[in-house]
Chain A
Amino acid sequence: MRETPNRELWVGCFVLVAMAGLAWLSLSVGGLELFRPKGLELVASFDEIGGLKSRAQVVIGGVKVGQVKAIDLADDFRAQVTLEVDGELALPADTSASILTAGVLGDQYIALEPGGDPETLESGEAISFTQGAVILERLIGKLIQNIGGGSSK
């Protein structure tokens, strides 16, 4: 077969470029984790998670340190959220987690607040201090009730 070197070169480039595109789509856009070292996996239970979704950000003081890996319903009907955070973080055992909203209607995320315990959280351990999502509608409903109740007295 003639002029195959040229053709083979083209096919090689084609495959390489397409694989690079695929890698970008999978790893960066799709969030597939192949090479990243396993992070610290923590579990936190909430009464209410609102609109929290998997892959939502986990931040400490506004700095992204991880993301939500999975959301399940626990046996006690509380929402069990599995977080994956940077494995090098030494989080104190009394760290607390709360679900916050970016802006009034923005995405929900989890903010961690490190405490002062000398012991640190290991992978698989649970965060005991949690603060669930604030549901705006309920808040407003309560407010109206309180105002109504206040005026009747």
Chain B
Amino acid sequence: MEIEARDLQFSRGDRPIFRGLSCRFPRGKISVVAAASGGGKTTLLRMIACLLRPDSGAILVDGTRDLVSLSRAESDAWRHHVGMLFQFGALLDMLTLYDNVALPLREHSKLTEAEIHDEVRRVFEAVGLEGVDQLLPGELSGGMVKRAGLARALIEKPEVLLCDEPFSGLDPPTVRKVEELLQAVNERTGATVVITSHHPLSTMRIADHLVMIGEGRAVEGTPQTLVREDARVADFFEEALSPPAVARGAS
């Protein structure tokens, strides 16, 4: 599915967040939304998930359906097509990992427990988690929580996958693993992936499409062209573009 935001206006109290933000997330591609902290990355994701409504503007799916005007039942229906990985996993503390991931199927499908078990195995395998079924979220490391959150986001085979800061708080090798994971999911399922991140390196590695939010508006394009053409984007990604510090020190 292709998602397009048109002229979004949104303010929190007196503070404007979006002032006519327009951007698009192409079908089946990995798009990264970059912005300084507090720039509205998460806000945009939550709007796509129908958890938040903009003050005005439209968010179109495949150019036709407007997410902003959906009723409550319709947004519930839309969310079946969307998986979301929250920044801190947002797994329910009271349930084990297995129950967390199985919850959407138990709630909405008529699958038997055995079938649910197979599905949960499938997503756990996809995110590389094993032997953690009976653990509670509080007993996991940050990286494992992210993977479990991703497993839960994938269980209903979403056509749109939203990931809020999937790389934050992880060590570099784990960041690489999560990057590979997201790329693998994107390749295998063809889902439209929208990631928010302020990690320049990860962004440059995995983004097919880059949306840079600044002062309530967005510029977009492939990462390479944007960096070339826009001074602010170039500034933001300076770290990823300059040669590694270690190499410089050695030379």
Report A-B touching, CB under 8 Å. Answer: yes
Interface membership of B251, Cβ < 8 A: no
The DSSP consensus for interface residues of chain B is loop
Instruction: Determine the chain A residues whose CB is within 8 A of the CB of B94 once the complex forms.
Output: 1
Within 8 A of A (CB), among B205-227: none
Q: In the complex, what residues of A have CB within 8 A of residue B170's CB?
A: none
Chain A residues whose C-beta falls within 8 Å of the C-beta of B61 in the assembled complex:
none
Binding site for B on A (CB under 8 A): 1-2
The yes or no answer to B136 lying at the interface (CB within 8 A) is yes
Could you tell me the distance between the alpha carbons of A119 and B96 in the complex, rounded to whole angstroms? 75
Would you give the 0/1 interface string for B86-122, flagging 1 where the beta carbon is closer than 8 Å to chain A?
A: 0000000011100100000000000000000000000
Q: Which residues of B contact A (CB under 8 A)?
A: 94-96, 99, 134, 136
Give the Cβ gap from A104 to chain B, nearest Cβ, in Å: 65
Closest to B99 in A: A1
> How far, in whole Å, are A2 and B136 apart by their CA atoms in the complex?
9
Distance from A106 Cβ to chain B, minimum over Cβ atoms (Å): 59
Residues in B neighbouring A1, C-beta threshold 8 A: 94-96, 99
CB pairs A–B below 8 angstroms (7 shown) = A1-B94, A1-B95, A1-B96, A1-B99, A2-B96, A2-B134, A2-B136
Bound Cα distance A2, B135 (Å): 9
Contacts of B136 in A (CB 8 A): 2
**Nearest Cβ distance between residue B89 and chain A, in whole angstroms?**
18
A2 and B96 CA atoms in complex are apart in Å by 7
Closest to B136 in A: A2
B167 to chain A, nearest CB (A): 30
Least CB distance, B149 to chain A, in whole angstroms: 19
Q: Cα distance A1–B95 when bound, in Å? A: 5
Residue in chain A with minimal CB distance to B135: A2
Q: Please, how many angstroms separate the alpha-carbon atoms of A1 and B97 in the complex?
A: 9
> In the assembly, what is the distance between CA of A77 and CA of B136, in Å?
74
Distance of A1 Cα from B100 Cα, bound (Å): 9
CA distance A2 to B137 in the complex (A): 12
CA distance A54 to B134 in the complex (A): 61
Complex: how many Å from CA A1 to CA B96?
A: 6
Report the minimum CB–CB distance from A149 to chain B (whole Å).
87
| B residues in contact with A2, CB < 8 Å | 96, 134, 136
Q: Could you tell me the distance in whole angstroms from the C-beta of B112 to the nearest C-beta in chain A?
A: 19
In the complex, which residues of chain A have a beta carbon less than 8 angstroms from the beta carbon of B96?
A: 1-2
Q: Which 7 A-B pairs have the closest CB atoms?
A: A2-B96, A2-B134, A1-B99, A1-B95, A1-B96, A2-B136, A1-B94
A81 to B134, CA, bound (A): 67
Q: Report the minimum CB–CB distance from A93 to chain B (whole Å).
A: 70
Give Cα distance in the complex from A2 to B99, angstroms: 10
